[in-house]
Structure 1
Amino acid sequence: MASLVFRSFVFLPMMFVLMVLTMSEAKTHVRITNDLPNNMDLTVHCKSREDNLGAHVLSYLDSYEFRFNPNIVGSTLFYCSMAWPSHTRYFNIYSFRRDGSCEWSKHVCLWRVTPEGPCIVKNLSNNQTVCYNWKKE
């Protein structure tokens, strides 16, 4: 009986460490594409609590991409300001609670930015998208 208890104390921590290492290897990839009309440039500036990714100017249909490892407690959040002539909007471009690991496309979150709001591609094969409103300022 003591042997079984000892094995449990050794086995369970090993399983936890293995789980953490496996999760940390799963990089998530976010791609933001400028889909504004009239060939307007889009300035994207994304941040998390730990990282400031800087400002990036995107011409029409250009994309900006970044990769990260979601944290193991499921609280990873990246938020962005998006600006074009006479407009500045804000959106949480990646929220673990909403997006998980973007499993529908193998850890790739594909976003299109429109004046009405950002749209994420949920299914690549049929181009199914879900659009969101801009965050209230």
Structure 2
Amino acid sequence: MSEEHGFYHPIVGYWQTTSEPSKAVQDLYPEGTIPYPLKPGDNCIPKDGAWEYAEPPVDPWPEIVSVLYPVHLWERMTKPEAEAVGAVMKQQDFRTRQIFASASSYRSDHELWLLLKQIATQLFGADRAAQILAPSELIPA
């Protein structure tokens, strides 16, 4: 029968075994190693013979939102490309056309971004779509 056991050393840290180690094996552990309760979860740290919950570290990199201004979108396209996008946009519902026409910017965290990416990719391929939709600027979310 497998029975896990926990051990802790202030320098080496915490480890678990899948069975009770023999006395000979335990004699090989660093001096100062003590039996320790099994670790209850990833965000726990050893403290005074028990476990204390610790807040997970904050991701130091905020989500980045791409911002593309309409002037850059249209400047990057050739006249035939712009005509092709216009033709596809004419097929969209009124609300989508109004959002597209009145937007002061297109943001990667907005519902319209997926449509722009889909249209550009289908019409021009992934590489050209990436060029056309390259951000005018990047901002933290």
Common topology (TM > 0.5): no
Rg larger in structure: 2
TM-score relative to the length of structure 1: 0.29
Which one has the bigger helix percentage? 2
More strand by share: 1
